[in-house]
Amino acid sequence: MNSIEIKNLTKIYRSHVKEEGLKNSITSLFHRKYKEFTAVNDVSFSIEEGELVGMLGANGAGKTTILKMLSGLLTPTSGTATVMNYIPWQRKNDFRRNFSIVMGQRNQLWWDLPAADSFLLNREIYSIPHDLFLKRRNSLAERLDVADKLHVQVRRLSLGERMKCELIAALLHYPKVLFLDEPTIGLDVVAQHSLREFVAEYNKESATTIILTSHYMDDIEHLCKRVIIIDKGKLMFDGALSSLIEEFAAEKMLTIKFTDTVEKHELESMGILTDFTTEKASLRIPRARIATVAGDCLQRFSITDITIDEVPIEDIIRQIFSKK
């Protein structure tokens, strides 16, 4: 059963254009010029209930605009969308009670109050029974390791602690659909890992439908089996992450550690050297030749270790956007 369905969704912004200067300011009062910008262009996809999907794209690609339309914050110029069989921009109460959106660059918690006070406000908004609220809040706080931070002013929390509290606020009312827009942006490696682990476990145990946008490829690789790529408002790819790698990564990475010293020119004919020392080298090799090249290396050189890996996903995404 599909939890989210989008058909031919389009969002066009119309903005007033004014040239600088007093004369042009006066002229624009009577003869306005407008410019149109297409943020989302004829996008269609569907997401099953309980699925965790990653959405990739450069800044300004249209990812956040799609999430805002799915959460009812924006009305599309054309096209249709349903979330849990509701039309989002109609903003019906039953719909609003069953979804949450967390934006890494926007705060929903009161800056000068402890997070616990903002949670109480959410309890009232969503009419959560007091005992159930306390159980839910304490459980989430312990799992995210911020139980001792709930009564500290939000502005005094670290960025990682603040994002964890934002996530708790979004999950207090047991939403069936969760939109995570860059939730790990700006976080250190430890905080990113902690949030990733929590989201993965939460998705499995609650079967919540989640759309995750991120600039960090580690988020996508660790959490999402399926990815959607948006570029300049258009859908470029929608499918399994493994299919993305197979379709767009024509090469594999071969990393070799040598027992004896090896000269650079001995390896250059085998592939594209991406890293080289006299004791270790990394090469990009066409998929069709990887087994042959690995066998040649084992015969020609004294080797302590040899590994074959996929090209890093961030390199694949970079290639897609550079070749589009």
* Residues 204, 57 within the same domain: yes
Q: Give the CATH number, domain containing residue 192.
A: 3.40.50.300
Is 111 buried (19+), middle (13-18) or exposed (0-12) by CB count in 10 A?
exposed
DSSP assigned state of 184: T
- Per-residue pLDDT tens listing for the chain (324 residues): 889 999 999 999 988 777 787 777 777 777 788 788 999 999 999 999 999 999 988 778 899 999 999 999 999 999 999 999 999 999 999 999 999 999 877 788 898 999 999 999 999 999 999 999 999 999 999 999 999 999 999 999 998 899 999 999 999 999 999 999 988 887 888 888 888 999 999 999 999 999 999 877 778 888 999 999 888 899 988 999 888 777 777 788 889 998 888 888 888 888 888 888 888 889 888 888 888 888 888 888 888 898 988 777 767 777 776 655
Nearest to 214 by CA among 249, 168, 179: 179
Instruction: Check whether residue 11 and residue 97 sit in a common domain.
Output: yes
Cα dihedral value 59, 202, 191, 275, nearest 10: -60
Query: Which pLDDT score is estimated for 4?
Result: 96
14-51 tens-digit pLDDT: 887 777 877 777 777 777 887 889 999 999 999 999 99
Q: Quote the pLDDT of residue 322.
A: 67
Residues 172 and 156 in one domain: yes
Domain interval for residue 209: 2-246
Which pLDDT tens digit goes with each residue over 177-203?
999 998 888 788 888 888 899 999 999
- 96 touches 170 (CB < 8 A): no
Domain limit, last residue, from 230, 246, 262:
246
Sheet containing 226-231: give its strands across: 99-103, 177-181, 209-213, 52-56, 226-231, 234-240
Q: Is this prediction's pTM over 0.75?
A: yes
Q: Are residues 182 and 318 in the same domain?
A: no
Instruction: Indicate if 179 and 32 belong to the same structural domain.
Output: yes
Instruction: Count structural domains, the chain.
Output: 2
Q: Supply the Cα-derived Rg of the chain in whole angstroms.
A: 25
Whether residue 266 sits in one domain with residue 224:
no
Rounded distance between C-alpha atoms, residue 310 and residue 316, angstroms: 10
My answer on whether 242 and 254 are in the same domain is no
Cα distance between residue 307 and residue 324, in whole Å: 31
Judge if 78 and 191 occupy the same domain. yes
**259 in the same domain as 234:** no
9 in Cβ contact with 76 (< 8 Å): yes
181 shares a domain with 40:
yes
Which pLDDT value is given to residue 323? 59
246, 270, 285 — which closes off a domain?
A: 246
Handedness of CA 211, 217, 221, 222 (dihedral sign): negative
pLDDT of residue 191: 84
Q: What is the pLDDT of residue 79?
A: 96
Whether 288 and 241 map to the same domain: the answer is no
For residues 163 and 199, membership in a common domain is answered with yes
CATH number of the domain that residue 319 is part of: 3.30.70
Helix (H) or strand (E) holding 237: strand 234-240
Domain end position, chosen among 208, 225, 246: 246
